[in-house]
A = this chain, B = another copy of it.
Amino acid sequence: MSSCLISQAEVQSFIERCMMAVGTQPHHAHSLAEVLVEGDHRGHYSHGLNRMDMYVKDIQSGICAKDGEPVVKKETAATALVDGKNLLGPVVGNFCMNLAIKKAEDVGIGWVVAHGSNHYGIAGYYAMQALKKNLIGMAFTNTSPLVVPTRGKECTLGTNPISVAAPANDGDSFVLDMATSAVALGKIELHDRRKDPIPEGWGCDPQGKLTTDPKKVVNGGGLVPIGGNEETGGYKGYGLGMMVEVFCGILAGAQYSKHIRTWKVTDRVANLADPNLPVLTAGDPERMNMKKCEEMGGIPYHINVVNFMNDCAKNVGVSKLLPCDRLVSN
C-alpha cells in the first residue's frame, strides 16, 4: 500500500480551512482539527481526517450548531452539568475537560457531564489533556447503538469508549482508550469486503448468536461487548457499556440508547435471543438471588460449608451456626 505523507501542521490547517469554509467559527474548527490530527497521529485513522467530511456535512446540514459556546447549567465545587448547545463534539469535549481540570486543581477532582454534544473523536484526546497538568484524566462517551447486549439480539448499546490517562515518570504515561465492544465495526466491514471470516467473539447474527460470518453481523446482527458471549464474560463488557450510558447519557440528561428503559417491559420478550435466557442488567442476577433468599427465608449453604465453618467456630471456641431446621435442594 502506498501512502502519502502529510505534516501534522498541514492536516490541521486543511481541516480548519474546510470547516471554516462551511461557516464553522475558527476556534471551533481549530478544536476539531486538533482532535482529528491527534487521532491520526496515534494511529486511529478511523477517528481522524477520514471523518472530516462527516463533520463538514453536519455543519452544512445544520445538524451541528455553528455559533455559540457551551454553557454550565449546574455546578458544585467538583462537578458540573454542561449544555453543549449542539456544538461540534470537540468544542463541548474541550469545554468540559478544561472545566474538570480547573475543578481538579481547586478541590482535587472534577467530574463534568454534558448533554447537547456531538461526535467528539478519540476519547483519549480528552483524558490526555489532564496529563499536561500532571493529573489523571478520564473520558467517556456514549454513541449510536451498534452493540448487542448479552442474551439480546438488537443493537441497543453504543461502542461506548472508556479512556483513562495517568502521568508517569520522565514524560511517560498510561493511556487506556478502548471501546467497550470487542472490536470496531470497521474491522468487521473490512473482513466482509475481503470475504474473510471473522474470529469467534467479534459479532453476532440477527438472532444474537456469535457468528464468524461478517455479512451476518453487518446485515441485521451487531457487535458484541468485550468478552464475547456469555460463557466468556461478554456480560462484563455489556456492563461496562451500560456504565458509560449511565455516566454520559442518564447522568447528563442526554440522549441514551433508546431501548434501555424498555428492556424490562413485556414487549421486550419478542426481542430476546432465547426466552429462557432473559436479557439482564448489571445487578439483576444478584437481585434474583436475594429474592430467592427472601422467598426461602435464609441463605442456602452447602452442608459441607456449614460443617467446615462449625469446625472453625469450635477452633476459636464459639458457638456453632444456629442449627438449620430444614435442608433445601438447589
Contacts and interface: CB of A to CB of B under 8 A. Distances in A.
A226 B237 contact: yes
A293 interface: yes
Contacts of A288: 43
Contact of A327 (B2, B165, B175): B2
A31 to B, nearest CB: 18
Nearest to A22: B316
A329 B3 CA distance: 6
A136 B246 contact: yes
A269 interface: no
A259 interface: no
A203 B235 CA distance: 17
Contact of A3 (B106, B107, B301): B301
Contacts of A102: none
B5 A178 contact: no
A248 to B, nearest CB: 12
Nearest to A299: B40
A185 to B, nearest CB: 14
Contact size class for A? 35 or more
Contact of A56 (B22, B183, B312): B312
Contacts of A72: none
A49 B178 CA distance: 36
Interface in A283-310: 283, 285-286, 288-290, 293, 296-303, 305-306, 308-309
Nearest to A288: B43
A251 interface: yes
Nearest to A296: B5
A204 interface: no
Given A164-B243, A313-B18, A319-B17, A43 B328 contact: no
Interface string A45-75: 1000110110010000000000000000001
A77 interface: yes
A233 to B, nearest CB: 5
A50 B233 contact: no
Given A79-B109, A177-B282, A243-B176, A232 B4 contact: no
Contacts of A250: 166
Contacts of A44: 286
B239 A176 contact: yes
Contact of A309 (B14, B164, B296): B14
A2 B329 contact: yes
Interface in A104-145: 106-109, 111, 124, 136
Contacts of A317: 21
A42 B299 CA distance: 10
B79 A108 contact: yes
What are the nearest 7 A-B pairs in CB distance?
A175-B283, A76-B108, A43-B289, A79-B108, A3-B300, A42-B286, A21-B316
